[in-house]
Amino acid sequence: MAAHVPDSQLTDEENGLSMRAPLLHSHGLAARQKGATFARTCFNVTNTLSGIGVLSIPYALSEAGWMSVALFFAVAIVCFYTGLLLQRCMDADPHIRSYSDIGEFAFGQRGRITVAIFMYIELYLIAVSFLILEGDNLDNLFPNLEFQFLSQEIKGKQFFLLISALIVLPTTWLRNLDGLAYISAGGVVASVVLLCSLIWIGVTETGFQKKGRLVNFSGLPTALGLFFVCFTSHAVFPTIHASMREKTRFSKVLQISFALCTFNYGAMAILGYLMYGDDLESQVTLNLPAGKIGSKIAIYTTLINPFAKYALTITPIALSIEEWLAFRYKRSYSILVRTLLLLSTVMTALSIPFFGLLMAFIGSSLSIMVSVLFPCVFYMKIYRDSGRSRVEMAVIGGVMAAGILVSVVGTYSSVLQIIGSL
């Protein structure tokens, strides 16, 4: 079924694609022999979905009550569906290799710039959340640390945040991040270990006896924002899809990965709420009893991923800045850019040290745009003249309307809470 191709995309090179179709076909056959296997792609997608949202998902449930479990599964279904829409957008042109390419294919250069802005802001704030996470959990491991430095009172969270930044700084200077990529792949294992640790602590220490609330309407905006954070990996789906050997099976990859991650997130939310009820902290690891082996395993596992993933998260922003300033290949300037970028995230993390509220803001203002609204808009633009059913377009319109409502209400609520907590 033919897709609509914007006039801005009809370059001389693309007008000649039909003349080179046999050649492109032969290259496509060769590429399929070298791409990532189905199993490897499943692991990659699952790894991207298994993010730090797993720590805040129990807190989300405590904010909105038991009825919000239904909303959690609804969010998972919506994000899975928009992932399928992205796949169809990628199928519209074999040259699409990234999320920004989809934006450019649909709306020209303005589409590429708009996607890039939202993606980079989201990545920046996620990098900030990594530092906040490190500071909070290290302070939980080594509590009551406080000292004076140059007439300034330094508290434990601030100290550990700064130490974490210094440790992660050299990793941001690396050009080749293959080693960090292998380390960050442990995110899937880390999520499983965290879940097992939570179960172990529940069985041996706390029990699962908290009743909680049925529903808390005032907490729904925060909870929805946190739910969306759990499934905010759409920005990398096109890259993973492009690297796959059998691209037609990508929808099956999404089914498996979303099912596994939805189960893991859901189990974490329900078990955490049964263990701690409305007393849940913004990160469930902060509720775990100090000194217990299960708590230490959970916290140490939690601390590993940010150290490895910070550089991977911030590198796309650094490369874009270096390219814009035209000294991408000058080593000393590159180090300066990345150091200043890290320093800016440290200052932001010290200014807004509220992990749960920050994650809710990211989910409401950015994740919904990247994971829900953009896929719908791009799909409708690319396939507007292809005779898609009215039912499908009505469903997409409903998803967009719901996404806009949740985004506006959630962003407003999270901003108010952040301001009120300063």
CA atoms within 13 A on the CB side of 158: 12
Burial of 194 from C-beta contacts in 10 A (0-12 / 13-18 / 19+):
buried
| DSSP symbol at 147 | E
For residue 147, report the phi and psi dihedrals to the nearest 5 degrees.
-155, 170
Measured CA to CA in angstroms, residue 252 lies from 62, 99, 115, 317 at distances of 33, 20, 26, 31
Q: Residues 307, 202: contact at Cβ < 8 Å?
A: no
- pLDDT tens, 294-325? 888 888 887 776 776 787 678 778 877 877 77
pLDDT number for residue 30: 41
pLDDT of residue 49: 83
The predicted pLDDT at position 343 comes to 94
The answer to whether 268 and 198 are in contact (CB under 8 A) is yes
**Residues 195, 268 contacting (CB under 8 angstroms):** yes
Start-end of H helices in 65-186? 68-91, 99-107, 109-141, 156-172, 178-184
> Using CA atoms, how far apart are residues 297 and 135, in angstroms rounded to an integer?
17
CATH for 40-421, options being 1.20.1740.10, 3.30.360.10, 3.30.420.40, 2.40.40.20: 1.20.1740.10
Low-confidence ranges of the chain (pLDDT < 70): 1-35, 148-151, 175-187, 305, 308, 312, 327-329, 353, 387, 422
- Model pTM greater than 0.85? no
DSSP letter for 35, please.
Answer: S
**The pLDDT of residue 404:** 93
Nearest to 250 by CA among 102, 86, 101: 86
Domain map of the chain by residue range? 40-421
Helix (H, G, I), strand (E, B) or coil at 10: coil
